[in-house]
Amino acid sequence: MEVQGSSKKMIATQAEMMEAKVPLAYRDQCAHLLIPLNKCRHSELYLPWKCENERHSYEKCEYELVMERMLQMQKIREQEDKLKQPQTQGIPLIPKTANA
């Protein structure tokens, strides 16, 4: 399954996310990394130093998604700015006189 506007593919299926009880807000392209992270956290009693590798890989994935969205938004804003700028190429702001 591919998400529109993103370069990352969904790896975890809806059934896997439902089985792992992943909240709806966290069902994104990084959910396949969140599932083993939550299992590790549960088995290690949420000790912060136990699941560092899983947490790091999940947070890196989320960071990359945020950066990708920011770049897309920047491109959209640049396109909008180009459309808002006055079209001065065809029509001069100060007309030339007939004698000049």
Q: Given this model, what pLDDT does residue 99 score?
A: 61
Rounded Cα distance, 55 and 37, in Å = 6
| Secondary structure (DSSP) of 4-69 | TT-SSBP-S-HHHHHHTT--GGG-STTHHHHHHHHHHHHHTTT-TTTSHHHHHHHHHHHHHHHHHH
Does residue 28 contact residue 69 with C-beta atoms inside 8 Å? no
pTM for the whole structure: 0.78
Please tell me the predicted confidence (pLDDT) of residue 17. Answer: 97
| The pLDDT of residue 22 | 97
For residue 2, give the 3-state DSSP assignment.
strand
CA distance 19 to 77: 40
CB-neighbour burial class of residue 68 (10 A; exposed 0-12, middle 13-18, buried 19+): middle
Q: In the chain, where are the structural domains located?
A: 14-72
pLDDT band of residue 7 (cuts 50, 70, 90) is confident
Q: What is the pLDDT of residues 22-74, one digit of tens each?
A: 999 999 999 999 999 999 999 999 999 999 999 999 999 999 999 999 999 99
Mean pLDDT of 6-10: 86
